[in-house]
Structure 1
Amino acid sequence: MAKESGVLLQVDKMKTVFQTQSGYIEAVNGISFHIKKGETVAIVGESGSGKSVSAMSILRLLEKSGKVSSGRILFKDINLNELSDEEIRKVRGKEIAMIFQDPMSCLDPVYTIGDQIIEAIKIHEDLPKKEYYSRAVELLQLVGLPDAKARMSIYPHQLSGGQRQRVMIAIALACRPNLIIADEPTTALDVTVQAQIMELLKKLQTELGTAIILVTHDLGVVAEMADRVVVVYAGQVVEESNVIDLFNKPEHPYTEALLQSVPRIETNKNERLMAIKGSVPSLYDMPTGCRFHPRCPYASEICRQEEPPLMNLGENHYSKCWIKEKDIKKVMQNVNHNEQEDIEIIDSPHFGKHQNKKILEVHGLKKYFPITKGFFSRTVGYVRAVDGLSFDIHEGETLGLVGESGCGKSTSGRLITSLLKPTGGSVTFNGQDISRINRHALKKVRQRIQFVFQDPYSTLNPRMTVGDIIGEPLEVHRLVKGTEKYARIVELLETVGLTRNDIQKFPHQFSGGQRQRIGIARALATEPDLLICDEAVSALDVSVQAQILNLLRDLQQKLGLSYLFISHDLNVVKYISHRVCVMYLGEIVEIADSEVLFQNPLHPYSQALISAVPIPDPEGKSERIILEGEVPSPSNPPSGCKFHTRCLIATDTCQTQQPDLKEVSPGHKVACHNY
């Protein structure tokens, strides 16, 4: 690709390799792209595709075993790959800055926020002492952190996730760089905080003219932020285009499949999500020909034998595929048709609208954690994590539980399984109050209620084989023995799409999606009636997420399972849930059928959450409600309606009187004085 005028950064045929015991392996293979001043270019693809390695290669932030082996990285016509270590350090922070995914792991916990911002300025600029301080305060104000002067003297752990990300952006902007590389800057954030960060980046880009390279797998964020998109797969660029053409007319089958994997608010719940079979190939065993052909449903012989060039399709649209546009559209229609014929997903036959019996009833559930002080641990207050929760779940139903981080979603799941002892209220499962039963009876109940956690890798024992992991609950509950146990493990693996060949493998030998399947198989071992899925798909790529969501729907239809689905991804919640509860500061503020809630949210908080969902459509911009301020502390919640401090329509009544959760129409309840 020829260099265009106004180009700030040109990456040309960059190859990045890592030294291993068996020699060098290529993580990035000949990637080329460019970015102009004031432009946003998104780099998208699954985990392991080479997105982050490409970004790190630009600034030479690779591990010691990694290096850019060939190609050029031209920044203002200077090849960054030829600079010495001292010279590249002068570029980092001053000319090109980086925003990382997890701000807590990047901010030093023993230094104040102010010290860390000032340090970033001192490295590149020699200013009077007072000016360092005033510049740091100015930066905190620029990124929208309230009471900036007071925040200068606090530590990272005293800030929320959204505030820490703002501090990272302030550090990145410290020396007014020309280019910011943002590596998954919003992935771990709630939709409301994510909306704030995206608005902030767009505002700063307009004011300062900064170019942004956005590394992400969130296609909603891409549609909203990007001018152009670079799609990478197995270390190569497979498609590049402006954002509108890419979303409206994707030319590469991988891009098409990624876009169809994403559940949207308007997605028909009766349709299966498009799932890409298999996973990104290992760096040690790259396929011949087109690297995507083992997963491509319509690969031809030429795809298996010859690697396609990156073809110029006109209007700066490039695709690395042998198949022509008209052939892609025709084959994609056939693939989708065959997928639908394979297993047709309909709403679970086990669940009719509130006709089935209630399997779980939660009433007035509370959990207060004591705040202690002094040598004798004197109680000086309480954190009201869950404060009077009431809902029910029917047989074969999926109930979604949504809200910002810290609202009490995960704590609620642990209270239901008695992993935490409630402060008050009751949890009734199949007619039995499990909050007041003895240990022996609780063990039997836990056989019927199982947990699927967010991070399967941290919950699977790395020293145990898959067979031992899945077989453990069978032994604990004495369900099967001997040859029956082996047969049951094989059956469970096949139920979640794995095989008997996986029994002797260890967790590290699987991809993220496969590990989540193992976690689900383990949860199904005891033949439960209720699964509590706590952010079960939030850490997964969109393609793997689609596989797991399809699997959960299949299992519900086959086994009649009930789910409590805890998530902050509202697109996913809308797709999989029959009803949805919206939580704020330990309380339910609205509950309704999924379709009703997303079409007609009544509570101002629900309206703000839904409006903040990024839409994977660059032309489908919606009016966003930006919530001001942070979530109040559950140790000192506001009086009256807990949401009134952030509500745009709050009245005097809201400040003094707590609203009841009232039914405003059949099955639709809301806790708001306006109804």
Structure 2
Amino acid sequence: MEKSTILSVDGLKTVFQTRHGYVDAINDITFTISQGETVAIVGESGSGKSVTALSIMKLLESSGQIASGQVLFNDMNLAELSDRKIRDIRGKQIAMIFQDPMSCLDPLYTIGDQIMEILKIHEDLTPAEADNRVLELLKLVGIPDGETRRNSYPHELSGGQRQRVMIAIALACRPNLLIADEPTTALDVTVQAQILGLLKQLQADFGTSIILVTHDLGVVAEMADRVIVVYSGTVVEQSGVHELFSKPEHPYTEALIRSIPRADTDRTAPLHIIRGSVPGLHEMPSGCRFHPRCDYATEICTQQEPPLFHLESDRSSRCWMKDGSLAKEFQHRLNTDNLDSRHPAPPNDAYTASKKEILLEVHNMQKHFPILKGILSRKVGAVKAVDGVSFEIFKGETLGLVGESGCGKSTTGRLILRLLDITDGEVKYGGINLAEFKGRQLKEQRKKMQIVFQDPYSSLNPRMTIGDIISEPLEIHRIASGSEKIRRAGELLEMVGLSSKDVYKFPHQFSGGQRQRIGIARALATEPELLVCDEAVSALDVSVQAQILNLLKKLQGELALSYLFISHDLNVVKYIADRICVMYLGKIVETADSETLFTNPTHPYTRALLSSVPVPDPTIKKERIILEGDVPNPAKPPSGCAFHTRCEHAKEICKSKIPEFKQMSLGHKVACHLIN
């Protein structure tokens, strides 16, 4: 039985008013969604995904407006409805889960009050009935102890719990259509698995249709029935999810899929990259919008914008390659160009097993933050953020550090750099204890150790030019001054793939990937030996992520750099890291070389992490190990093995005795009572 169409978007065009006049944000967006179906909208940042979702909901900012097209929902054109009438539909019939729950939840109201608010607007319920509905919704989305949690404020919840509250608000009136805008982007893989499982279960229970806006193709492969690929505000491909991944029909789709690091990706080969970036709204190229970045572009691509060619099996592609009359021209183009030669493998010969020389050694490192109470700031306890961590980093090696948010990864990186003081333990660099360095000695040591932060925009001063930002370390350490430091800044920009002419520009004039390159250039200014990369690619699109990962490997090969690579994206860590440490609640529970860890994960926590990683292949159905609950409070950690409260294999000994860190094989160590 064919399912009925619940939403039909036809020729949607949204424009924004700027000082240069009106510009198109999205143009000719057309798709449908049926009852109980999941349609994914994918593309890079700036491609128009979120604007499409906001246009459907009529939640555009004041400078934006729908210029033309229809958004038909139950025979009503939402694009023509007044603000009052659309408010009656929002939340009740169509609901939206926003990307950042912390900024969307009011910090002054409890989560119970915020769920209650939507019920008061759309439902005719008594206070007792509304209160019961709130408790039902909290239970439905998997938040335990609803009686207590409804009185909690957003800051008292974890990221995963806040996202569950957003889902509870969206589902409060049991809408027919749910729009999820990057609902799992900032979440750990374990929490992401919980949220995706929850959405699938709710869809099965209530027959809700879902529009999933995301750039994570692993999530798309797992969740979607159909996929809409958008680029520069227009649809470039539509397809069923299986057909899209098995045979993409647009060069952009193909390039996105090839850019993703996977567990089976060859670590010695470069990731495929999409050169350049999505053009700005004022910089749309003539012809096909993708042609400046396309490996297959010919003359017609630069002159005429292609129509949306309709293919077999209800597929479509906006590419001249699908015009039968041009097939010979494109085939000649493919035969004469070796496309793979455009992306040569970056050299990465610095780290070899036969030449191991320890650069950094960490032994029993601890960091306890005091818990203070009262006006006299009386110490009543401590948060054990890092609790007895030991590892080493070899020269020219990349060590990956993975785990859920709150496990102590970033704190570990900051302790190594002496950005935080160590409570106990040792950090030795070149055999010398860093605690011995003071004043000028510490300043000199910091030249050898630098950090690349997660958010490249907030870590760059918006009031300084790029030249001044990069050359600031040169001046601080008296390496160069005057015109020499600007010349050196230009050389560093060239090293990371930008132009030396960019020294006079400001951060806002660059894309996210370019800003991250600037952050790397600044980190390299003092010619360090060790870089701490703290979630350095987690906020980037897959295409930009591939560029940065290739760059890091290239620089490592050329400069013999060592990396501590902190991330929650295990596929990325598998690709770039030589060895991996798995961290849980301030302790390392397993360490091994990357290949061994992925093929033979031993600790139950490691197995759960790896099982939760989305695979960008809809034909692969993984058996998930869903971890119940969140990471325990580090101020009150469990006795014995810290993981026993979430471990399905926990025994009585796990509750009382801390497991020994045992060696399984050469380089493979595990802290678990289940290991003999």
TM-score (normalised: structure 1): 0.97
Structure 1 residue 329 displacement after superposition: 9.0
Residue of structure 2 in register with 1:369 after alignment: 369
Residue of structure 2 in register with 1:538 after alignment: 538
Aligned pairs for 1:56-71 (under 5 A) are 56-71=54-69
Conserved in 1, the CA contact under 8 Å of 2:270 and 2:343? no
With over 3 angstroms needed to count, the CA separation of the structure-2 counterparts of 1:249 and 1:338, relative to structure 1, is: closer
With over 3 angstroms needed to count, the CA separation of the structure-2 counterparts of 1:381 and 1:500, relative to structure 1, is: same
In the aligned structure 1, how far is the partner of 2:366 from the partner of 2:332?
55
Is residue 240 from structure 1 mapped to residue 241 from structure 2 by the alignment? no
Q: Deviations over 1:161-197 (max 9, x none)?
A: 0001001000000000000000000000000000000
Is residue 380 from structure 1 mapped to residue 364 from structure 2 by the alignment? no
In the aligned structure 2, how far is the partner of 1:333 from the partner of 1:217?
32
In the aligned structure 2, how far is the partner of 1:430 from the partner of 1:333?
53
Is residue 52 from structure 1 mapped to residue 15 from structure 2 by the alignment? no
Residue of structure 2 in register with 1:621 after alignment: 621
Structure 1 residue corresponding to 2:121, chosen from 112, 123, 131: 123
Residue identity in the other structure for 1:242 = G
Aligned residue for 1:238, secondary structure, equals strand
Residue of structure 1 in register with 2:144 after alignment: 146
In the aligned structure 1, how far is the partner of 2:207 from the partner of 2:559?
55
Structure 1 residue 481 displacement after superposition: 3.1
Is residue 647 from structure 1 mapped to residue 647 from structure 2 by the alignment? yes
In the aligned structure 1, how far is the partner of 2:528 from the partner of 2:297?
41
In the aligned structure 2, how far is the partner of 1:121 from the partner of 1:44?
32
Conserved in 1, the CA contact under 8 Å of 2:38 and 2:211? yes
Is residue 22 from structure 1 mapped to residue 20 from structure 2 by the alignment? yes
Conserved in 1, the CA contact under 8 Å of 2:11 and 2:29? yes
Aligned residue for 2:425, secondary structure, equals strand
With over 3 angstroms needed to count, the CA separation of the structure-2 counterparts of 1:548 and 1:236, relative to structure 1, is: same
In the aligned structure 2, how far is the partner of 1:115 from the partner of 1:58?
27
In the aligned structure 2, how far is the partner of 1:609 from the partner of 1:152?
29
Q: Deviations over 1:226-250 (max 9, x none)?
A: 0000000000000000000000000
With over 3 angstroms needed to count, the CA separation of the structure-2 counterparts of 1:329 and 1:92, relative to structure 1, is: farther
Residue of structure 1 in register with 2:444 after alignment: 444
Structure 1 residue 96 displacement after superposition: 0.2
Structure 2 residue corresponding to 1:94, chosen from 73, 92, 95: 92
Conserved in 1, the CA contact under 8 Å of 2:468 and 2:486? no
Residue identity in the other structure for 1:494 = E
**Equivalent residue pairs, number:** 670
Aligned residue for 2:537, secondary structure, equals coil
Conserved in 2, the CA contact under 8 Å of 1:252 and 1:321? yes
Conserved in 2, the CA contact under 8 Å of 1:457 and 1:507? yes
Residue identity in the other structure for 1:343 = P
Residue of structure 2 in register with 1:226 after alignment: 224
Conserved in 2, the CA contact under 8 Å of 1:271 and 1:340? no
Residue of structure 2 in register with 1:499 after alignment: 499
Is residue 552 from structure 1 mapped to residue 555 from structure 2 by the alignment? no
Structure 1 residue 5 displacement after superposition: 6.3
Residue of structure 2 in register with 1:479 after alignment: 479
In the aligned structure 2, how far is the partner of 1:653 from the partner of 1:436?
40
Structure 1 residue corresponding to 2:82, chosen from 59, 81, 84: 84
Gaps of 5+ in 1: none
Is residue 427 from structure 1 mapped to residue 427 from structure 2 by the alignment? yes
Residue of structure 2 in register with 1:344 after alignment: 345
Aligned pairs for 1:197-346 (under 5 A) are 197-324=195-322, 338-340=339-341, 343-345=344-346
Residue of structure 2 in register with 1:172 after alignment: 170
Residue identity in the other structure for 1:298 = Y
Residue of structure 2 in register with 1:612 after alignment: 612
With over 3 angstroms needed to count, the CA separation of the structure-2 counterparts of 1:378 and 1:526, relative to structure 1, is: same
Aligned residue for 1:285, secondary structure, equals coil
With over 3 angstroms needed to count, the CA separation of the structure-2 counterparts of 1:662 and 1:53, relative to structure 1, is: same
Conserved in 1, the CA contact under 8 Å of 2:115 and 2:134? yes
Conserved in 1, the CA contact under 8 Å of 2:24 and 2:281? yes
Residue of structure 2 in register with 1:38 after alignment: 36
Conserved in 1, the CA contact under 8 Å of 2:486 and 2:503? no
In the aligned structure 2, how far is the partner of 1:127 from the partner of 1:486?
67
Residue identity in the other structure for 2:527 = E
Conserved in 1, the CA contact under 8 Å of 2:97 and 2:180? yes
Residue of structure 2 in register with 1:185 after alignment: 183
Residue identity in the other structure for 2:126 = P
Q: Deviations over 1:539-566 (max 9, x none)?
A: 0000000000000000001111000000
Conserved in 2, the CA contact under 8 Å of 1:9 and 1:36? yes
In the aligned structure 1, how far is the partner of 2:276 from the partner of 2:298?
18
Deviates more, 1:481-490 or 1:516-525: 481-490
In the aligned structure 2, how far is the partner of 1:16 from the partner of 1:232?
14
Residue identity in the other structure for 2:345 = E
Structure 1 residue 331 displacement after superposition: 6.5
Conserved in 2, the CA contact under 8 Å of 1:354 and 1:394? no
Residue identity in the other structure for 2:216 = D
Is residue 588 from structure 1 mapped to residue 612 from structure 2 by the alignment? no
Conserved in 2, the CA contact under 8 Å of 1:272 and 1:340? no
Residue of structure 1 in register with 2:577 after alignment: 577
Aligned pairs for 1:103-122 (under 5 A) are 103-122=101-120
Q: Deviations over 1:639-672 (max 9, x none)?
A: 0000000011111111111012111100000000
In the aligned structure 1, how far is the partner of 2:331 from the partner of 2:389?
49
Structure 1 residue 43 displacement after superposition: 0.2
With over 3 angstroms needed to count, the CA separation of the structure-2 counterparts of 1:230 and 1:477, relative to structure 1, is: same
Aligned residue for 1:266, secondary structure, equals coil
In the aligned structure 2, how far is the partner of 1:22 from the partner of 1:437?
55
Structure 1 residue 127 displacement after superposition: 0.9
Conserved in 2, the CA contact under 8 Å of 1:118 and 1:136? yes
Gaps of 5+ in 2: none
With over 3 angstroms needed to count, the CA separation of the structure-2 counterparts of 1:334 and 1:183, relative to structure 1, is: farther
Could you list the runs of 4 or more consecutive aligned residues of structure 1 that deviate by over 6 angstroms after TM superposition? 325-335
Aligned residue for 1:272, secondary structure, equals coil
In the aligned structure 2, how far is the partner of 1:408 from the partner of 1:373?
23
In the aligned structure 1, how far is the partner of 2:508 from the partner of 2:482?
27
Residue identity in the other structure for 1:196 = Q
Residue identity in the other structure for 1:54 = T
Aligned pairs for 1:519-538 (under 5 A) are 519-538=519-538
Residue identity in the other structure for 1:390 = S
**C-alpha RMSD of matched pairs (Å):** 1.5
In the aligned structure 2, how far is the partner of 1:163 from the partner of 1:214?
20
TM-score (normalised: structure 2): 0.97
Structure 1 residue 500 displacement after superposition: 1.4
Deviates more, 1:189-198 or 1:317-326: 317-326
Residue identity in the other structure for 2:183 = P
Q: Deviations over 1:411-444 (max 9, x none)?
A: 0000000000010001111121112321211111
In the aligned structure 2, how far is the partner of 1:38 from the partner of 1:375?
55
Aligned residue for 2:321, secondary structure, equals coil
Conserved in 2, the CA contact under 8 Å of 1:456 and 1:516? yes
Residue of structure 1 in register with 2:514 after alignment: 514
Aligned residue for 1:86, secondary structure, equals helix
Residue identity in the other structure for 2:429 = F
Aligned residue for 2:353, secondary structure, equals coil
Residue identity in the other structure for 1:275 = I
